Structure 1
Amino acid sequence: MSDWNSVAEALKLGGWVVYPLSLLAIVALAVTFDRAWVWWRYASAPCGEAARALPDGHVLRRIDALFEEDGAPIWFIENQVDTAASQIQRDMSRGLWMLETIVTAAPLLGLLGTIVGMMHSFRLIGGDGLVNPAGVSGGVAQALVATAIGLVIALVSLFAFNYFSRRMDRLMDELETFANTRLGAVRLAREGSGAPA
């Protein structure tokens, strides 16, 4: 219980900058959890029986549906696959710009808290010397708490952003491999039947 009390005291020391930093933390967590759920639901790699029971919005099902048109020219299918892949990339990366912005904004807000806290401390030092030592140390504590909170939020957001960006790169490679395999099968089937590719 004393740990929670010390956290609450630290937040009080952080001053008004803690409120926008808290908002950034909530947004970062919301985007991270949302993207984690979307990736788990619509982009997890299927295996075995699960491959046949993909949800309707799954990225592999969206690409696979483009190959169901019999007789469509290969160039048309390739164009449709490229368009679908671009749409999938936009859908799966929705909200990541917020994480990227928070990575930059949170330390800057923490720095603003540092400046405000230091200004408060310097204001308490009068022309005759140190007027209020407790007030000066409180201002320094405010500066340090705001900086620490901003850095923690930025680090969490950075890890989440980098994780989802790497997953996006890997997903696009997987979709390209999947589409090329299906296009190869279509070409082979048409060559075997004598139909024009």
Structure 2
Amino acid sequence: MESSYLLVNLFIKGGAIMWPLLLTSTLALMVILERGWFWWTTLRQREPQRVEEALALLENGQVQAAAKALEGSEDFIARALRHGLNHHHGSLQGALQTAAGAELARMGRFLPVLDTIVTLAPLLGLLGTIFGIMHSFQMMGDAQLAEPKAVTGGIAEALIATGFGLAIAIFSLIPLNFFTTRLHRAQHLLETYATHVEVLYQGRQAQQHASSARSISA
């Protein structure tokens, strides 16, 4: 109860800039919770063994069976590869790139918002610092030095706003780095598996062409 009263008191002393900071912190918390739940779910849905089974089928030339093996999987790798294999008659590479782009777009959702908050929050705190110092100088100019609290109130406003802005940025930076790292790892996995599928598919196609050429020549 006492700590809650202290936070409310600090918020009030921080001045008008505390309202944008409150909005910023609320938005940051919402994005962190949403992205945290997304990645927790995504990592739980990984099925690397199923993906490897599909690659083994593809290596044996069973393209449709490989795509069938990936059906129903929520693994983001499996979804991307399934989309590519289902459109291999058109452009396997193009289909894989389209699917990978869609997966990465889902994974990078709201990260620009969090990145903006990391930059914006300290700037808002700095703006609050300027307002607080201006308030203190105004008190001095009005010859109200007989009431030191009137002057120190502006300094407190400046320090509180700066502290809150820095706290929001620090609080947001660590999750942002974590989510960005996970995104880069997912991009690397998608590129690796897409390349693997293309190599297996093209290799099998080359073998079939060679077999057909030998049959014709015979």
What is the aligned partner in structure 1 of residue 7 from structure 2? Answer: 7
Q: Is the 8 A contact 1:89 1:172 kept in 2?
A: yes
| Mapped pair 1:134 → 2:149 | yes
Further displaced range: 40-49 or 22-31? 40-49
Cα drift, residue 53 of structure 1: 9.2
| Mapped pair 1:179 → 2:198 | no
What is the aligned partner in structure 2 of residue 66 from structure 1? Answer: 83
Higher relative contact order (CA 8 A, sep 6+): 1
Uncovered stretches (5+) of structure 2, i.e. residues with no partner: 52-68, 213-218
Once residues 82 and 70 of structure 2 are traced to their aligned partners in structure 1, the CA distance between those partners, rounded to angstroms, is 14
Counterparts in 2 of 1:37-116, with a 5 A limit? 37-44=37-44, 46-47=46-47, 58-69=75-86, 72=89, 76-116=91-131
Cα drift, residue 70 of structure 1: 8.0
Once residues 79 and 108 of structure 1 are traced to their aligned partners in structure 2, the CA distance between those partners, rounded to angstroms, is 43
What is the aligned partner in structure 2 of residue 28 from structure 1? Answer: 28
Residues 1:68 and 1:135: Cα distance change in structure 2 (over 3 Å): same
| Mapped pair 1:159 → 2:174 | yes
Once residues 172 and 131 of structure 2 are traced to their aligned partners in structure 1, the CA distance between those partners, rounded to angstroms, is 24
Cα drift, residue 25 of structure 1: 0.5
Once residues 42 and 173 of structure 1 are traced to their aligned partners in structure 2, the CA distance between those partners, rounded to angstroms, is 16
Listed one character per residue, the Cα deviations across residues 2-29 of structure 1 (whole Å, up to 9, x for unaligned) are 2222222111111111111010011111
Q: Is the 8 A contact 2:139 2:151 kept in 1?
A: yes
Cα drift, residue 191 of structure 1: 4.5
Q: Is the 8 A contact 1:124 1:132 kept in 2?
A: no
Q: Is the 8 A contact 1:15 1:113 kept in 2?
A: yes
Cα drift, residue 190 of structure 1: 3.7
Once residues 85 and 18 of structure 2 are traced to their aligned partners in structure 1, the CA distance between those partners, rounded to angstroms, is 54
Listed one character per residue, the Cα deviations across residues 108-165 of structure 1 (whole Å, up to 9, x for unaligned) are 1111111111111111114657232011111111111111001111112222222211
Listed one character per residue, the Cα deviations across residues 21-40 of structure 1 (whole Å, up to 9, x for unaligned) are 01001111111111122222
Further displaced range: 123-132 or 141-150? 123-132
- Structure 1 or 2: more helix by fraction: 2
Percent of paired sites with the same residue: 34
Uncovered stretches (5+) of structure 1, i.e. residues with no partner: none
Counterparts in 2 of 1:182-193, with a 5 A limit? 182-193=197-208
Once residues 68 and 127 of structure 1 are traced to their aligned partners in structure 2, the CA distance between those partners, rounded to angstroms, is 76
Q: Is the 8 A contact 2:28 2:172 kept in 1?
A: yes
Q: Is the 8 A contact 1:41 1:58 kept in 2?
A: no
Once residues 44 and 171 of structure 1 are traced to their aligned partners in structure 2, the CA distance between those partners, rounded to angstroms, is 14
- Say which one has the larger Rg: 2
Once residues 3 and 26 of structure 1 are traced to their aligned partners in structure 2, the CA distance between those partners, rounded to angstroms, is 19
* Amino acid in the other structure paired with 1:112: L
